[in-house]
Structure 1
Amino acid sequence: MELLTQLVEHFEAKHYAFPTQKQSTPLDMLLFLTESNALKQADLVGIIGSSGVVSEVVNGKRSISKGMAIALSQRFSVDAGLFLT
């Protein structure tokens, strides 16, 4: 049984390992969630701020604040830590 466990772990590590070089950023998470929920920038207005603020966040010119992270976590039903560095 122990040998089988080791073989399965080795197989999973080789074929299903997550890349350790690239960590997702808060912006990556926001873009992924908006795309997977078929949302546009305009849909984030009112959740994290004005259209100018949303544009700056989406374009990487402004980081996601704690308040924005909380609002986004409520909107997407995920942990706020995904949006914080």
Structure 2
Amino acid sequence: MALIINKTIYSELLTAFQPKVIKTQAEYDEAHRILVELIMLPSLSPEQIELRELIIVLLKEFDHKQPTPEPASPQEVLVYLMEEHHLKQADLVGKIGSKGVVSEIVNGKRSISKSQAKVLAEIFHVSSSVFI
């Protein structure tokens, strides 16, 4: 069912927002802020619905053009999780290996074994596959 749009009201919304192709993170953030404002309204007029849909298209287009980040290595995941959980290498000693083994793993000099990945998965409450 097509919405009936009041051109005057829609024109006023477009003038206020001034939609355009998003080229920078700042423009993205501003469009996202406006989208959130629209979503938070208890109800939307047909004109606001159209503006919301337009903003979504613009945001998706910007997202689509962004480079896909490289997946994190198991070592990078471990270091990140250690930081998030406020753990030090010493906290993993005896759980996944000796002090030397833990140091080598954290510094990327040694791979994480399947058995170590299972232990780390239990510690951090994640899938063991992130460490393999």
Q: Which has the higher contact order (CA 8 A, sep 6+)?
A: 1
Aligned to 1:40: 88
List structure 1 runs of 4+ shifted beyond 3 angstroms.
15-19
Which whole-Å CA distance do the structure 2 matches of 1:35 and 1:79 have between them? 18
Q: How many residues align?
A: 83
Aligned to 2:107: 59
Q: One-letter code of the match for 1:44?
A: L
Residue range with higher mean Cα deviation, 37-46 or 17-26: 17-26
Residue range with higher mean Cα deviation, 20-29 or 58-67: 20-29
Residues 67 and 20 of structure 1: is their aligned pair in 2 closer, same or farther, counting only changes over 3 Å? same
Which digits, 9 at most, give the CA deviation of each residue in 1:10-38, with x for residues without a partner? 40452598752421110110000000111
TM-score, structure 2 normalization: 0.54
Which whole-Å CA distance do the structure 1 matches of 2:65 and 2:121 have between them? 27
Which digits, 9 at most, give the CA deviation of each residue in 1:17-60, with x for residues without a partner? 87524211101100000001111000011221111100110111
Unaligned runs of 5+ in 1: none
Aligned to 1:11: 59
Which whole-Å CA distance do the structure 2 matches of 1:76 and 1:20 have between them? 26
- Correspondence for 1:71 among 119, 125, 128: 119
Q: One-letter code of the match for 1:69?
A: A
Which digits, 9 at most, give the CA deviation of each residue in 1:42-85, with x for residues without a partner? 0011221111100110111100010010000000110001101x
TM-score, structure 1 normalization: 0.81
